[in-house]
Amino acid sequence: MPQAAGLHYEVHGDAGAPTVLLSPGLGGSANYWAPNIAALAQRHRVIVYDHRGTGRSAREVPGDLTLEAIGQDMVRLMDALDIPKTTLIGHAIGGMAGLAIALGRPERLERLVVINGWAKLDPHSARCFDTRLALLRDSGPRAFLHAQPLFLYPAQWISDHHDTLQAEEEAMLAHFPGAEMVQRRIAAARRFDIANRLPTIHVPTLIVVSEDDMLVPPAQSERLAADIPDAQLARMATGGHACNVTRAEHFNMWLLDWLDG
């Protein structure tokens, strides 16, 4: 399994094609992007990776775990793979770590796509995180993972994909990074606050918002789009927090149009 800078990564597509780097959300696994990789790899060199502390990457995360540190890891991975500049597509905290790069190392980004992210945690999202942490603390990892789809997917999609979700739950339980790591990652998401710095971002940015997101109210993405100069806002009426998974075909077509446009 290839690793660079302690990070497990995979490369898909033509080495000579434009590079896109995909960064997952709270779970931190490259597998999150499985419904999107093949479509993107038809026209791009696609790099996916596991966040440090999760999946197949190094499990030790020294020092403070922050979204800025997750962004620094992406820059380290780019350095190791000799990528001077990339388009970064991030889901939730993966996209917010991309915003941190846009603030601190904008020369490393061609463009940035943030899917259902925020500049400062909303009280509703904080309540959701509190509930998930209580499940983890009081009932253990299986209860935490069993409840996870409720925050990610629309209700009917969960019903229609019950068997798949059950199998995924077993796989995630087998590779669970540990309660302490999950708590640290949620704490990092809760501390993140760049609300007053958004007007200083000048990387071309697309904000993707799902209007039925259970975890992150759409107003959070709307604020990102309003305060980042020249940012574009793309709305999906349905799809939930993980809209790139639940409506993958639509999302892939839409994203490719923007990337190539």
C-beta of residue 77 within 8 angstroms of C-beta of residue 101: no
In a domain, 179, yes or no: no
| Residue 85 falls inside a structural domain | yes
pLDDT number for residue 126: 98
H or E element that contains 167: helix 162-174
Q: What 3-state class would DSSP assign to 44?
A: coil
Q: How would residue 153 be classed by pLDDT, with cut points 50, 70 and 90?
A: very high
Structural domain includes residue 187: no
Q: Quick one: pLDDT at residue 261?
A: 80
Tokens of 173: 């339980």
Two tokens at 143?
A: 């209860």
> Which CATH number characterizes residue 49's domain?
3.40.50.1820
Task: Answer whether residue 111 shows pLDDT above 90.
Answer: yes
- Measured over the CA atoms of residue 68, residue 69, residue 70 and residue 75, the dihedral's sign is positive
Could you give the percent of the chain with pLDDT greater than 90?
A: 97
pLDDT at 148 over 90: yes
Question: Which domain covers residue 217, as residue numbers?
Answer: 3-120+194-260
> Is residue 143 a part of any domain in this protein?
no
Q: Which residues contact 138 (CB under 8 A, 6 or more apart)?
A: none
Helix/strand/coil for 15 = coil
Q: Is the model's pLDDT at 1 over the cut of 80?
A: no
Residue 138 domain flag: no
- φ and ψ at 202, to 5 degrees? -125, 20
* Cα gap 128→246, rounded to integer Å: 20
Average pLDDT over every residue of 19-45: 97
Token output for 118: 């925020």
Q: How many domains does the chain have?
A: 1
Answer yes or no: is pLDDT of 23 > 70.
Answer: yes
Whole-prediction pTM: 0.97
- pLDDT of 113 > 80? The answer is yes
Residue 23 belongs to some domain of the structure: yes
How do residues 177-228 score in pLDDT, each as one tens digit? 999 999 999 999 999 999 999 999 999 999 999 999 999 999 999 999 999 9
| Residue 161: inside a domain | no
**Over the stretch 44-93, which tens digit does the pLDDT of each residue have?**
999 999 999 999 999 999 888 999 999 999 999 999 999 999 999 999 99
Q: Calculate the average pLDDT of the chain.
A: 97
Residue 142 lies in a domain: no
Can you tell me which residue has the tokens 């419904």? 35
Contact indicator for 103, 194 with CB cutoff of 8 Å: yes
Q: Please, are residues 133 and 186 in contact by the beta-carbon 8 Å criterion?
A: yes
Mean pLDDT of 97-114: 98
